[in-house]
Structure formats: C-alpha cells, structure tokens
Amino acid sequence: MELPKNAFLLALQEKRTLYGCWLGLPDPTVAEIAATAGWDWLLIDHEHAPFELSGVLSHLRTIAPYPVAPLVRPVNDDPSLLKKFLEMGVQTFVIPMIDTAEQAAACAAAVYYPPKGLRGVGTSLARAARWNQVPDYVHHANDEICLIVQAETVTALENLDAILAVPGVHGVFIGPSDLAASMGKIGQSNDSSLETAILDSIIKIKAAGKVAGILTLNEAMIEKCARAGADFIGVAVDTLLLGDAMRAGAAARK
C-alpha cells in the first residue's frame, strides 16, 4: 500500500492561484457536497467551528475519494493535538496565531519525524500509515507534510521575515479579521491600511520563496491578492453559502 500523496502540494506545483472553501458545518454530507463542487481545496476549521476530533476524521474520510485537497486548521499549535491530526492522516496544516519564529519552529518540530522534528512514532494506530500497511511510512511521511502558519497580528507581521526563515515552514497564511483587530480596526475589513499590510505581506512571503494564502470574501480584494501572488485564497464559507441561499430562497417567495 502506497503512502497517500499530499494533494495540496501537488496542486501548488501547477503554479496558479488555488481557490478554496472553508468548512464549518460538521455534517459529512456538507463536506461531500463541497468535495464534488469543483474547489481546489477545502479547509476543515477545527479552530472556530464545532468540530470534535471524530468530526474532522469523518470529513477527511468523506473528502478522500474526490479530487480536492483537504486542509485542516487546528484550534491551536498544541503538539499533542497536532500529533492526533497527523495520525488520522492530516498532511496540510494551517496553524493559527503564530506570532514568532520560535512558535513556528515549535510547529515544525511537532509535525515532522526525527531528525527533522520531534513527532512521536505510533504507526500501528495511525490511519496515516494505514495501520502499518504503508512500507517505510516513517521514512517518507515528512515529504508529504505541508506546514502553513497563520500571521494574524501586528506582532506576527513584525516578525514575518524570521517566521519565513524557519526550516520546514512552507508558507504563511494572512488572517485578515484578527489582523484588523490587532491593528485596532476590528470589523473594518475594507480599511486601506489593512489592505496595504495584507498585500505587502503577500509580496514579502512570495519574495522569500514561500507559499502565501488568505481568506477574503471581497471580490476586489480577491483579485488584488491574486495579482500580488497569493498561491491559495479562501473565497467562500459553507455556513455563509447555505445561509445566503436560504435567505434568498425565502425572500423570493415573500
């Protein structure tokens, strides 16, 4: 049995902007509908959505048969939590609230096997290793891990160069909502200084040879981020898509 390839890393090799959708509804039917919709990637949001570990696992299994890359955003950078996700088969992480190079280095240590990192070995219990059915899993698993850290505070942007220099970090995802809050502009998603900070950060990330990502629902900002070089952009959220369709349908009959 072969080690599953990281679909997100493969998609990045196409050198185009990859567009994706946030998944916050734990029902696997929603995940399957999204997986058949044509997105490049889907992010399972364990940070803000009501997912338990079993719910993330269910989504991963549901998405697996379809040609779309699964990403997972854990609630935090706890190595014990990251270990659980690794064992269940998560290969691409978007880890929130990383403000320093030291935090980024700790994330890298948690997701890679020695000597690159400190990930613990437990392959007989791991879906990732197909329960010891993937030959030499421990020698090749590191090659399929993609580590994206989130910069979403003023402090993170001040430390961006150092974060980008951390070995094992593939890229940085800009979190615009928390960044706005950190700048004293909470809820002001269209603020010009926020936009400048985001676009300058994307350019800096790309100049460092790393992957740049962001979530924005603003069409003009989507285009600006793509032109700045963003590799992957979240442009939709399942809860909002459903809510908008429900309200539009009801309004049309009243």
59 a catalytic residue: no
Strand 171-174 to 92-95 pairing = unpaired
Contact yes or no for 113/142 (Cβ under 8 A): yes
d(CA 88, CA 149): 20
d(CA 92, CA 14): 17
From the candidates 48, 59, 139, 140, give the one annotated as an active-site residue: 48
d(CA 246, CA 241): 9
Q: What is the C-alpha end-to-end distance of the chain, expressed in Å?
A: 56
Contact yes or no for 235/38 (Cβ under 8 A): no
Catalytic (active-site) positions:
48
